[in-house]
Amino acid sequence: MLVVEGLANKSLVETTSDAIVKLIVDNEYPVGQKLPNEYELSQLLGVSRNTVREAIRALVSRNVVEIRRGAGTFVSQKMGIADDPLGLTFIKDKEKVFLDLIQVRFLLEPAIASWAAQNATVGEIETLGQLCDEVEQQLLAGENPVKKDIEFHTQIAKCSKNTVVPNLIPIINAAITVFTNIEENKVVSKTIEHHREIFEAIKARRPHDAQDAMLLHLSYNRNKLRKSMHLKETSFLK
């Protein structure tokens, strides 16, 4: 039995939460792994079931675990990353947010695409190809592709094999969401073309081409938004 010892500056619930996180890390629980039930955790950690319950609630709020009714508690796909890590919700000018975010994307994503071309496994490339197809299908059907678009860029990040990159994904996701909300489906053909070029370069193990394809994709999106912003300003002045 693991006995949870509270620190002077931490409550028992907080130290129990830390112990559960340690349990996940030490046992290398993957995303979607079911945790021991409340009773088992209570016995394992040497605390009451009520303390375990409160600790689990705290971890849910931190996106470390998720509760599925009737099934149990599982390691969250969000891996402890906040829904809005940069506080973008509170910035009113969403177009300015996108332009600032895309500057960050220029620093990150071309290199990530290059690493993906060098390090991705065959299985990971197959998954990336499937996501590329799914984004294309949704765009051609006039559906909102934002969820699959995020999954596509997320998969590229996973293919990089850089352990820090997955924690940077929320920055990338925020930019994709903002751009989709502003431009809707006005960039269908180019998005399809750019995604396909990125995927094919990664599949062919061409890191420089993957980097260039990502740069082209980001440049096009940035230029489209700038034109959209200019048209709005011109219309407002008339």
pLDDT confidence of residue 174:
73
| Across 110-124, 133-147, 193-207, 220-234, least confident range | 220-234
Q: State the pTM of this model.
A: 0.75
pLDDT in the model for residue 181: 62
Tell me if 173 sits within 8 A of 218, measured CB to CB.
Answer: no
What are the backbone angles phi and psi of residue 20, rounded to the nearest 5°? -70, -40
Q: What average pLDDT does range 106-119 have in this prediction?
A: 97
Task: Find the range with the poorest average confidence among 68-77, 136-145, 164-173.
Answer: 164-173
Given this model, what pLDDT does residue 199 score?
A: 98
Average pLDDT across the chain, whole number: 87
Q: Average of pLDDT values for 209-218?
A: 97
For residues 80 and 188, give the distance between their C-alpha atoms in angstroms, rounded to a whole number: 33
Domains within the chain, CATH numbers bracketed: 12-75 (1.10.10.10), 88-237 (1.20.120.530)
How many helices (H) and strands (E) the chain has is answered by: 9, 2
CA 155 to chain centre: 9
Q: Which two tokens stand for residue 103?
A: 């500057």
Written as six digits, the tokens of 20 are 């559960």
Segment 55-65 shows an average pLDDT of: 95
- Given a cut of 90, is residue 180 above it in pLDDT? no
The share of the chain scoring above pLDDT 90, in percent, equals 57
Q: Check residue 155 and give its pLDDT.
A: 94
Tell me the two tokens of residue 156.
């590229």
How many whole angstroms separate alpha carbon 98 and alpha carbon 221? 10
